[in-house]
């Protein structure tokens, strides 16, 4: 059996729209450009990127909802363009937000309807609906109309719907957007459980902590291109072992601190993170001891109110890569 569940080769998507009052001019927008990656069976793979980076467009091509302009994609060895109907039987997908369900129907009625689209046997549907509602923590609300559900409950019902036909590959597009911290944690636990059941999951998100906690590998996507692809740990190592020093500076004292840091070489990057009071400066440096030595005369509330030295997080890596224009 092929060990690759999802395969994207040079995927490209360009949208053409007519513009102008008389729609005489054509405008092309490149949403995804030359994206290639592979996801192994049983892997939880993350697509990380800012809004408009091309994450959802990529997922929609992989789920057969959009046709690629160029390039190919395979799910479990099946081409998404040539074997569309077959691919659809093996995948499940859930997009973020409160759309995608019939609000006037109950949770169970929604699940029954979508199960029928996958030609599930009514007995199987009944059994799986209850199992899945249990899995996503909605067992007590099965007979309630979706219009009475919170965002988090809707998102969990989306997940149950996507799992109805027991797909081998699951696409989750920003599943925790708009969900409170408790709901997000529960959903992340559910996703972990799915991985333990052997599902392959492609998850898009712009929450770093979520990606770091869940994903075995991450592709960072920016302006339609993959700009980094590796495990979270390897991505963090990419910024060559730099440390991050975050300092809260008393108002009006920033210039004094910046003057102290000016003598450092070009490998140290100083960024102003927060311009309101207190001002927060982030220093990424391969020489944390040297930076601390320079700042030590100012370690008092008149200048530096707080100082924290930490290792790079995925968020630091992400910000560095995105700010560098994806290089």
Partner 1 sequence: MKDIRWGLIKQQMLVQLHVRTLNLLSLGLFVIQPAVFTAVGMLLSHAAGNAMPDLVYTVIGGGIMGMWSGLVFSSTYDITGDRLYGTLELIVGSPTSLTTIEAIRTLTNVLAGVSSLGLAFLAALAIFGYSLKGINFWGAIVSLLLLLFAMWCIGIFLANFLAWSRLSGGFVDYIEMPIAFLCGFMYPIRVLPGWLQILSGAIPIRWALQAMNESLLGNHDWSFLVIHWAITIGISLVFIAITRCLQDKVHDSIRVSGELSSI
Binding site for partner 1 (CB under 8 A): 15-16, 60, 63-67, 85, 88-89, 93, 95, 97, 99-105, 109, 112-114, 116-119, 122, 161
Minimum Å gap between C-beta 47 and partner 1 is 18
C-alpha distances out from residue 319 to 45, 222, 227, 248, 267, Å = 20, 11, 12, 20, 16
Residue 326's closest CA among 45, 40, 8, 54? 54
Q: Which residue in 172, 120, 115, 161 sits closest to 138, CA to CA?
A: 161
Closest CB to partner 1 among residues 15, 209:
15
In this complex, which beta carbon is closest to partner 1, that of residue 60 or of residue 199? 60
- The least CB distance from residue 110 to partner 1, in Å, is 9
Nearest-approach distance from CB 94 to partner 1, in angstroms: 9
In the complex with partner 1, which residue's Cβ is closer, 114 or 149?
114
List the one residue out of 297, 207, 302 whose CA is nearest residue 249. Answer: 302
Taking the complex as a whole, how short is the minimal distance between the CB of residue 26 and partner 1, in angstroms?
A: 13
Separation of alpha carbons 157 and 138, rounded Å: 8
Nearer to partner 1 by Cβ, of 20 and 301: the residue is: 20
Least separation in angstroms between residue 60's CB and partner 1 is: 8
The distance of closest approach from Cβ of residue 33 to partner 1 in the complex, given in angstroms and rounded to an integer, is: 16
* Residue 278 C-beta: closest distance to partner 1, Å: 43
Of 21 and 182, which has the nearer Cβ to partner 1? 21
Q: Output 121 or 271, the one with its CB closest to partner 1.
A: 121
Nearer to partner 1, 145 or 185 (CB): 145
Q: What is the largest CA-CA distance in the chain?
A: 74
Classify 148 as helix, strand or coil. Answer: helix
Question: Closest distance between partner 1 and the C-beta of residue 93, in Å?
Answer: 6
Distance CA 314, CA 219 (A): 12
Considering the complex, state which of residue 86 and residue 246 has its C-beta at the smaller distance from partner 1.
86
Crossing angle, helix 181-196 and helix 151-163, to 10 degrees? 10
For residue 24, which phi and psi values (nearest 5 degrees)?
-95, -20
**Residues 292, 245: contact at Cβ < 8 Å?**
yes
Spell out the residues 6+ positions from residue 189 whose beta carbon is closer than 8 angstroms to its own: none
How are strands ordered across the β-sheet holding 44-48?
Answer: 91-94, 169-173, 200-205, 44-48, 217-222, 225-230
């Amino acid at each position: 059996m092929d060990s690759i569940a999802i395969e994207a080769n040079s995927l490209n998507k360009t949208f053409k729209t007519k513009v102008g009052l008389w729609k005489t001019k054509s405008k092309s927008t490149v949403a995804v450009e030359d994206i290639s990656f592979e996801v192994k069976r049983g892997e939880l793979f993350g697509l990380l990127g800012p809004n408009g980076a091309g994450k959802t467009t990529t997922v929609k091509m992989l789920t057969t909802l959009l046709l690629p302009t160029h390039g190919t994609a395979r799910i479990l060895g099946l081409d998404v363009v040539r074997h569309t109907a077959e691919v659809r039987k093996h995948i499940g997908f859930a997009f973020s937000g409160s759309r995608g369900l019939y609000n006037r129907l109950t949770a169970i009625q929604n699940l029954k309807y979508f199960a029928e689209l996958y030609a599930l046997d009514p007995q199987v549907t009944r059994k799986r609906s209850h199992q899945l509602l249990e899995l996503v923590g909605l067992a007590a609300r099965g007979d309630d109309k979706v219009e009475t559900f919170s965002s988090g409950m809707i998102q969990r019902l989306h997940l149950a719907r996507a799992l109805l036909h027991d797909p081998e590959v699951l696409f989750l597009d920003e599943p925790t957007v708009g969900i409170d911290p408790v709901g997000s944690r529960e959903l992340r636990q559910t996703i972990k459980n799915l991985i333990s059941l052997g599902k392959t999951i492609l998850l898009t998100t712009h929450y770093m902590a979520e990606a770091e906690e869940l994903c075995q590998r991450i592709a960072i996507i920016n302006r339609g291109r993959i700009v980094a692809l590796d495990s979270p740990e390897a991505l963090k190592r990419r910024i060559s072992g730099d440390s991050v020093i975050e300092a809260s500076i008393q108002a009006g004292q920033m210039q004094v601190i910046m003057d102290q840091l000016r003598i450092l070489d070009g490998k140290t990057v100083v960024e102003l993170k927060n311009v309101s009071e207190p001002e927060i400066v982030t220093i990424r440096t391969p020489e944390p001891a040297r930076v601390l030595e320079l700042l030590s005369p100012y370690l008092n509330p008149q200048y530096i109110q707080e100082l924290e030295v930490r290792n790079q997080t995925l968020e630091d890596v992400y910000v560095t890569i995105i700010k560098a224009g994806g290089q």
